[in-house]
Chain A
Amino acid sequence: MLTAVAFLGPLAAHAFLRYALLGGLLVAIPCGLVGSYVVIRRISYIAGAISHSVLAGLGLVQYLRVVHGVTWLSPLGGAAAAALVSAMVIGWVSLHLRQREDTVIGAVWAVGMAAGVVLISLTPGYAADLMSYLFGNILMLTPRDLILIAALDVAVLLVVALFHKQLLAVCFDDEFASLRGVRTTRYHFLLLGLTALTVVVLVSVVGIIMVIALLTLPAAMANHLTRRLSHMMAVAALLCAVLTVAGLALSYGPDLPAGAVTILLTGALYFATALIRRR
């Protein structure tokens, strides 16, 4: 608690901390909304594969920028492209070769990582970035990143407001939804696309490896506290905001990695609530 209060001083002094704080609050919206869909649709492992494949996109952009001088490419754009491509590959394969879905998830997961590692090793002088990709660095958020995250927030809110009925029905019982004329495949891909974009913004906060925990654990906790999806989303977003900000505040004083501290807090809360429920 003392650490958190002590955080207010530096917060007033440093712009990068204010960006980090705002970033943490902004990612909470897609984290809560899309994380809830991921949990109820049981696609956390797809989210995991998407997040790891992001390294390929980040590596490719870095490689092209440094080695070939393509400076207009942004890492975030590369990450988004890689995430969307891997989401669509998994979606397509699970649609056409249903029984092989888990194998494909594993393949996308590892191949994305491997491609990223190779591309980064081919890029002179940028190995240090690997750490911030893998473990996140909320302190490096720029105003431009914040604008992109805010734009994604608006997009996610809009999609959920417009298609909530269909998305809920597809997650609950997609066979029934398709019998009622809902194009379930289209909504499945929409959900995968939303998941991919959400993963990309969360990567900037907690990094590729830990995204899956921030995406799913607040939603899983919210699932036990609520009885309707809209409430679950609101509680998950709130938990995500609180945990991200707490992770930032608690890590700043002792100079610990903010992403890892956020995940430790999230995990601790998740296991504590699970234990309390068991009693």
Chain B
Amino acid sequence: MRRWRHGSVNTVLAFHDLDFGYDGRSVLRGVNLAIPAGDFVSVVGPNGSGKTTLLKLALGLLKPTAGEVTVFGEKPERARHRIGYVPQHAQLDPLFPVSALDVVLMGRLGLGPSLGPWRRRDQDAARAALAEVGLSEHADRHFAALSGGQKQRALIARSLAGEPELLLLDEPTAGLDALIEEGFFRLLETLNRRLTIVMVSHDLGFVAGFVKSVICVGHKVVVHPTSAITGQVIADLYGADMRLIRHDHRCSEEGHQC
């Protein structure tokens, strides 16, 4: 059992006494979390519980009503260039005239001269990122013609092209079938050797075999490593087809409400 210290050198993402709400409705209250470098975290919870909100707060796209978020010890806005963000691909226009390589190149924005066409090193970095996710031979295909799983990989390559240290993924496996999902998690497992990964997931059952820890989002989220929830309890809750690597479940103080 380990308690993550706030502000320690290896903390990548931290929430301190954070509240968030809009239109007078409280979404998150009293969130205290610290995610260490090298972690592979899955954020789970019911729809509307604030999982995506947590990611958007980490990116600085949303501002907390109280408390603060730090990424690499800085404000999110200042640390954005070190974050790779992978949104849900379903929200993108299917007719949009871009190749897979065009999409991945967008991850290079902010790294070189901003005027004029892409430079050689941007092209090389984008191709390397495509190779890393196994899409080398699809570089020049229409992005829209890629399968759901390939699109998701291309979006990961886009974030990798920006040379991030922290990867934030929003429901990356929504709409993918189980077999593709498995391969997808193997890719994330490989990336986790050099990157910290935080992933919002719709289903704990699928991720438990790959992730190192789980954050449950209810109305309140706090760091609460617990050994009270054993693998057997989780297996009973979510079905038996999963493997637990570690038992660091960080759940609300009141118990397991996700």
Contacts and interface: CB of A to CB of B under 8 A. Distances in A.
B102 interface: yes
B109 A182 contact: yes
A175 to B, nearest CB: 7
B97 to A, nearest CB: 5
Contact of B97 (A162, A165, A176, A228): A228
Given A177-B109, A179-B80, A229-B98, A172 B116 contact: no
A172 B115 contact: no
Contacts of B162: 180
A120 interface: no
Interface string B71-112: 000000000110101010000110111110011011101100
A94 interface: no
A180 B59 CA distance: 11
B109 A166 contact: yes
B98 A172 contact: yes
A161 interface: yes
Interface of A: 36, 40, 42, 161-166, 168-169, 171-173, 175-182, 223-224, 226-229, 231-232
28 contacts: A36-B97, A42-B93, A161-B117, A162-B116, A164-B117, A165-B105, A168-B98, A168-B102, A171-B96, A172-B106, A173-B87, A173-B106, A175-B61, A176-B85, A176-B106, A176-B158, A177-B106, A179-B59, A179-B85, A180-B80, A181-B81, A181-B109, A182-B109, A227-B141, A228-B97, A229-B97, A229-B102, A231-B97
Which 5 pairs from chain A and chain B are nearest by CB?
A: A181-B110, A180-B109, A227-B142, A180-B110, A169-B106
Interface of B: 59, 61, 80-81, 83, 85, 87, 92-93, 95-99, 102-103, 105-107, 109-110, 114-118, 141-142, 158, 162
